[in-house]
Structure 1
Amino acid sequence: MNSHQGNFVRASMIEAAPAPIQTGGLGYWLRKNLFATPKDTALTIISLLVLAWLVPPAVQWLFIDAAWTGGGRGVCATVAQGGSQPEGWSGACWAFVNAKFDQFLFGRYPIEERWRPALVGILFVLFLTPMLIPKVPYKNINAILLLVVLPILALILLPGGWFGLPFVETPLWGGLMVTLVLSFVGIAVSLPLGILLALGRRSTMPVIKMLCTFFIEVVRGIPLITVLFMASVMLPLFLPQGVTFDKFLRALIGVSFFASAYMAEVVRGGLQAIGKGQYEGADSLGLSYWQKMNLIVLPQALKLVIPGIVNTFIGLFKDTSLVSIIGMFDLLGIVRLNFSDANWASAVTPISGLIFAGFIFWLFCFGMSRYSGFMERVLDTSHKR
């Protein structure tokens, strides 16, 4: 045995290994994400060259040469155009956005009554924030405040006509206020309605399944503009004589139903991803259908389709700009409406207003996207034991 032991013993020391590559810090991040391979290095260099070509002129136009203050088109037009800017000047007209900012928020809502939508907006932030933070307790109370108390207060404050508040008709509403109201109502209605439609489409009852499938396929096969047009123009034709609905309410109904059809398909995808064993296990415990769905199936299914749900919310938020087809002026609509103001007619006014509106839309959509990623990480338990 001893004669064979020498075959397993080294006759010389192992050479010193090189120091390990740094696994932290800026240098490691750059090497891993931008210069990992020759292909990555080439793409990084090309991207940097493109950014060096595009960013400086954009910064020059957006910030350095921009007109920030002033009244009227003179601050955003050259001398040849009747303004005060030198020949060849080109910069953003943020003075236009600054002058019209209140209209971009509230539309043509009476100035002396704008405290009402401002108060609703503040309450919305106060009630929504605790719902978005997982560790904040009393979620049931937060949900009641957000989904029950806030809509009642908004119904009292925004249109008025209650408790001595002057009535403000909905055609005067506009701006970001309309965008947020449409989005909030559409999201609050489309998610539970979409869940019910998805469950109905998977139902074993032929009538329920047929009705839900018919609704989903018909609504998904029609553009939102058509839905809004039908809700605004054609719906009154089918109502009894003397019965009518506010145009803004029709838009809320149309947007909510449209989004619920897409939400139903997203939720149905999550339901189909749940293994048959989950259903059988719930049945073996003697759970009823609704107990099985509420306690076992839906929590897992909704977690799987968080990206699809948020994607539907983002699409709904952007699609609110289509309400201009029925005469409602959301953020984009009120911005475009102010282009016709002769006091601000200049070559750079439209692009400045559209960039502002686009930035606001991007800000909200990016926030929803980031929060979606956060919730996916919080709810991801696949790596835990």
Structure 2
Amino acid sequence: MAENIAYVRHTFLPAETAPLADSTVIGWARKNLFSSLSNGVLTVLALSFILWYLPGVIDWLFLSAQWTGTDRTFCSTVAQGGIQPDGWSGACWAYVGDKFQQFMIGSYPRGEAWRPYLLAALFAILLVPMLIPSVPRKGLNALLLLVALPIVGYFLLLGGVFGLRHVETSLWGGLMVTLIISFIGITVSLPFGILLALGRRSKMPIVKTFCVVFIELIRGVPLITVLFMASVLLPFFMEPGNTIDKFLRALVGVSIFASAYMAEVIRGGLQAIPKGQSEGADSLGLNYFQKMTLIILPQAIKLVIPGIVNTFIGMFKDTSLVSIINMFDLLGIVKVSFGDAKWLSPVTPLSGLVFAGFIFWLFCFGMSRYSGFMERLLDKGHKR
């Protein structure tokens, strides 16, 4: 007897259009901004706040701002000895433009400015392919970026070899110092943080005790204390006549501080891995190194990407604390420029701080967005 398949449909139904409520601006706003009474009230308050302050902010930043000029008279009112009408208030971007090179490289000799700019170009050339997953030869790229570039940068910036003029680290400053300290801190803190996290979970008492004491001691004091100890107290424990460059002290202080925090982030990821993963690796006959590098650590690091990037962002912003040992990062060099009588006016300090804040935000926002991209790229096991 033939089977009756008259009820089976052989063609797909035509696609229906999206509901009107979701396909229009009004429908989107009703769903996302006014879905309830409380959401509607908060939306109205937020929009009122934006509409109240945004025009003034835009006017100060762009419309009434002074974009060109050679001294403070361009950013001062007539009553203050300048050319602007009384009551004028706007950003002084002419001051930022005049001080831009100082904000980038500090007091680095202007005739040698090509050296930090060349290093910055090499850094960008190596970093961009490292961040793009589809670019091949990541091992070689990492070797050049994390090992070769710091060595080249050391000789290129410090000089004294290959006919390059020697430039003391006390002349370094600006965004260059911020990026160098952040880059070295990130490069050092991640592997050392992994080692400390593994050591804290070790079954060897001496190793575990050392790691626990180190982590808790460093995490128990603020970074400014670590920098102060590295700069002021360390020379007392050295033989007379021997000293350590203060920039190197800052690098060491920031690196060990970030390593302690990174260790706890990595340890959180290790604890989140089910015990069955380790047992499965043992059943395959893998040794401890193979188990950690091939099975456990890749999963743990993937889980704690937000925490890792959060530590990197915090470290990037904390570089401003190196001013305590007379090393001036971007924020420090901006604050030093406030004393220049050539640009002394009521609006120049705020203009400089807004510029520095924007640069910090730009780098931190970039790290945050890339972190989100990597999370989505690696989130394979939780997708349906």
Band the TM-score falls in, shorter-chain normalisation: over 0.9
Give me the whole-angstrom Cα distance separating, in 1, the residues matched to 2:211 and 2:192: 11
Indicate the residue corresponding to 2:364 in structure 1: 365
What secondary structure sits across from 1:69 in the alignment?
A: coil
How much does 1:219 deviate?
Answer: 0.4
CA contact (8 A) 2:159 2:165 kept: yes
How much does 1:28 deviate?
Answer: 4.6
Indicate the residue corresponding to 1:335 in structure 2: 334
Give me the whole-angstrom Cα distance separating, in 2, the residues matched to 1:364 and 1:289: 37
| CA-atom RMSD in angstroms | 1.6
Indicate the residue corresponding to 2:210 in structure 1: 211
Give me the whole-angstrom Cα distance separating, in 2, the residues matched to 1:131 and 1:159: 26
Indicate the residue corresponding to 2:307 in structure 1: 308
Indicate the residue corresponding to 1:10 in structure 2: none
How much does 1:358 deviate?
Answer: 0.4
Q: Which amino acid aligns with 1:62?
A: L
Q: Which runs of 5+ in 1 are unaligned?
A: 1-17
Indicate the residue corresponding to 1:170 in structure 2: 169
Q: Which runs of 5+ in 2 are unaligned?
A: 1-16
What secondary structure sits across from 1:283 in the alignment?
A: helix
* 1:182-261 pair list within 5 angstroms: 182-261=181-260
When residues 73 and 275 of structure 1 are mapped into structure 2, their CA distance, relative to the original with a 3 A threshold, is same
Give me the whole-angstrom Cα distance separating, in 2, the residues matched to 1:33 and 1:375: 27
Give me the whole-angstrom Cα distance separating, in 1, the residues matched to 2:44 and 2:254: 45
How much does 1:42 deviate?
Answer: 2.3
Give me the whole-angstrom Cα distance separating, in 2, the residues matched to 1:25 and 1:314: 38
When residues 53 and 159 of structure 1 are mapped into structure 2, their CA distance, relative to the original with a 3 A threshold, is same
Q: Does 1:146 align with 2:145?
A: yes
CA contact (8 A) 2:21 2:28 kept: no
When residues 19 and 96 of structure 1 are mapped into structure 2, their CA distance, relative to the original with a 3 A threshold, is closer
How much does 1:231 deviate?
Answer: 0.6
When residues 115 and 233 of structure 1 are mapped into structure 2, their CA distance, relative to the original with a 3 A threshold, is same
Indicate the residue corresponding to 1:75 in structure 2: 74
CA contact (8 A) 2:228 2:325 kept: yes
How much does 1:123 deviate?
Answer: 0.6
Question: What CA deviation, in whole Å up to 9, does each residue of 1:135-181 have, x standing for no partner?
Answer: 11110111111011111110110111110000000000000000000
What secondary structure sits across from 1:158 in the alignment?
A: helix
Q: Which amino acid aligns with 1:356?
A: F
Indicate the residue corresponding to 1:42 in structure 2: 41
Query: What percentage of aligned pairs have identical amino acids?
Result: 68
Between stretches 291-300 and 148-157, larger displacement belongs to 148-157
Q: Which amino acid aligns with 1:382?
A: G
Give me the whole-angstrom Cα distance separating, in 2, the residues matched to 1:282 and 1:106: 50
Give me the whole-angstrom Cα distance separating, in 2, the residues matched to 1:331 and 1:259: 20
When residues 203 and 19 of structure 1 are mapped into structure 2, their CA distance, relative to the original with a 3 A threshold, is closer
What secondary structure sits across from 2:382 in the alignment?
A: coil
Give me the whole-angstrom Cα distance separating, in 2, the residues matched to 1:291 and 1:181: 33
Give me the whole-angstrom Cα distance separating, in 1, the residues matched to 2:161 and 2:31: 62
Aligned length, in residue pairs: 369
What secondary structure sits across from 1:41 in the alignment?
A: helix
Give me the whole-angstrom Cα distance separating, in 2, the residues matched to 1:329 and 1:103: 11
When residues 29 and 150 of structure 1 are mapped into structure 2, their CA distance, relative to the original with a 3 A threshold, is farther
